[in-house]
């Protein structure tokens, strides 16, 4: 993947994420879209509760956010850091985020990284089953 394509991709993801959050903040009672996976299968997905978790973090309710979905802390961190990092790269015409992405991608090809990461996601999914079923 090229640097330009990666940055454009992350820009679109960040914009969609911020639009989703803004929609929930401004129109929370009208936004009852919910999780497509849950609507189709009737089962919670590994990320079920992430939006509520991020909204709880923004309100300072960290314990509640953790109960909704611990991945909310990772999501909000990425929503803050990644766009800022890409903006800094753009301003200074550097490629720090691109190099970080490539190193991280290579790191996740190693079994000692991707197996625990998969186990963490599966563990979170099991916890979601426990909470929502």
Mean pLDDT of 111-125: 96
| Predicted local confidence at residue 27, as pLDDT | 80
- Structural domain count of the chain: 1
> Which residues, in sequence order, are CB contacts of 129 under 8 Å at separation 6+?
43, 44
Identify whether the C-beta of residue 101 lies closer than 8 Å to the C-beta of residue 90: no
For 113, the domain range is: 3-132
Mean pLDDT of 105-118: 97
Mean pLDDT of 92-99: 97
| Predicted local confidence at residue 33, as pLDDT | 66
25 — pLDDT class (breaks 50, 70, 90): confident
């Amino acid at each position: 993947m090229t640097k330009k394509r990666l940055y454009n991709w992350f820009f679109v993801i960040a914009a969609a994420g911020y639009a989703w959050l803004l929609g929930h903040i401004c129109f929370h009672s009208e936004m009852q879209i919910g999780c497509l996976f849950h609507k189709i299968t009737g089962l919670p997905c590994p990320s079920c509760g992430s939006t509520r978790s991020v909204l709880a973090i923004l309100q300072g309710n960290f314990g509640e956010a953790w109960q909704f979905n611990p991945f909310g802390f990772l999501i909000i961190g990425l929503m803050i850091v990644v766009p800022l990092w890409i903006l800094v790269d753009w301003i200074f015409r550097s490629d720090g985020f691109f190099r970080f992405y490539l190193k991280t991608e290579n790191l996740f090809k190693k079994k000692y990284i991707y197996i625990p990461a998969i186990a963490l996601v599966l563990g979170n999914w099991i916890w979601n089953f426990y909470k929502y079923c």
